[in-house]
Amino acid sequence: MLKILQICTQRFLSKFMFKKLQQKWKVNTIRVLLILITFAIGGSLTGYAGKRLMTLTGIENLLLFIPLYILLVTILWPIMVLIISIPLGQFTFFLAYIKKLLRRMYGNKTKIAKSKIPFLSPDKQQKEATAFDINKMNIKQIAIFASGAGSNAQKIIDHFRNSSFIKVSLVVTNKPGAGVIQIAQKENIPLLLIEKEKFFRGDGYAPQLIEAGIDLIVLAGFLWKIPASLINAFPRSIINIHPALLPAFGGKGMYGNKVHQAVIEAGKDETGITIHFVDGHYDNGDIIFQAKCAVLDTDTPESLAQRIHTLEYANYPVIIEQLLQQPSL
């Protein structure tokens, strides 16, 4: 009887632990298992390599041996787990994990030079390295991705202008002539202009965003599909707003007035907005929030767009704030 109780308790704790880790790391059960395996193997190899290297030093004095050994394994551990994470497919997770640890250890100060991220200066001719510091560990940092005028981006920036714990730290665009560039310059927010080849076939700029300390990626009229490399680096930390009530009127090519035209042609009497997490498919991630408005008989795509924009401006910044107030994000 005692044995049965012990087994049941172990199974319960195991399931509870996995559920908590899934919520904390924002990954599925299989990835939790792979991450734990990486931790275990990486830790074992760290201990083994540390002992072997210390043996080569010939140091026998415990007062000297122990602190040197601790220092050595502290240096070896991130190297070992990163190596092990590659064949297990968890490299982006551990890269982000280790960088987050380093930010916490060193006061969350992040400096990014122009040589690492192509920030655009206001005159587009700045030759000195551009850098910015985040000095408070508790500040949640947002990167806004936009391809157009940036009206939603401006509303988000305005909403968090005086926030003590949320900061718009980066604006990302894929279009050199996008209106959001002027917004970033006016607001003195660092800007990252991304290239298609690197975004889709490279690392998706994930290392730069991780180094910048970004906690949440907010898509605000960003027209490129988000690559798997970026989704894996920021699991359940990328959100989008769509100008319709998903799953209706979503998918590739459905954006802006094309959506409103489709809604009107379908004879719908209501439409709205959907804020959702981003996954590997267009407009397919878990829905976070929806708001509705009426479709009038006299509506055109342009008139309907005005009411949709009103919903977006009123709700998107609020939902972003609510998400960032959750401990798991």
Domain ranges of the chain: 17-105, 140-324
CATH architecture for segment(s) 140-324? 3-Layer(aba) Sandwich (3.40)
Rounded alpha-carbon distances, angstroms, from residue 167 to 35, 158, 173, 207:
30, 11, 18, 20
Q: What is the pLDDT of residues 155-202, one digit of tens each?
A: 999 999 999 899 999 999 999 999 999 999 999 999 999 999 999 999
Q: Would you say residue 113 has pLDDT above 90?
A: no
Q: Would you say residue 247 has pLDDT above 90?
A: yes
- Crossing angle of helices 2-25 and 29-57, in 10° steps, is 90
- The most distant pair of C-alpha atoms in the chain lies apart, rounded to whole Å, by 88
Gap between the Cα atoms of 242 and 250, Å rounded: 8
Q: What is the pLDDT of residues 27-65, one digit of tens each?
A: 667 777 888 888 889 888 888 887 888 788 778 777 777
Contact in structure between 244 and 301 (CB atoms under 8 Å):
no
pTM (2 decimals)? 0.62
> Is 309 annotated as catalytic?
no
Q: What is the pLDDT of residues 58-69, one digit of tens each?
A: 787 777 778 887
Contacts with 44 (C-beta within 8 Å, 6 or more apart), sequence order: none
Contact in structure between 217 and 237 (CB atoms under 8 Å):
yes
Q: Would you say residue 298 has pLDDT above 70?
A: yes
Least confident of 66-80, 109-123, 161-175, 198-212: 109-123
Q: Which amino acid is at 100?
A: K
Residue 191: count of CB within 10 angstroms of its CB:
22
Out of 242, 276, 281, 309, which one is annotated catalytic? 242
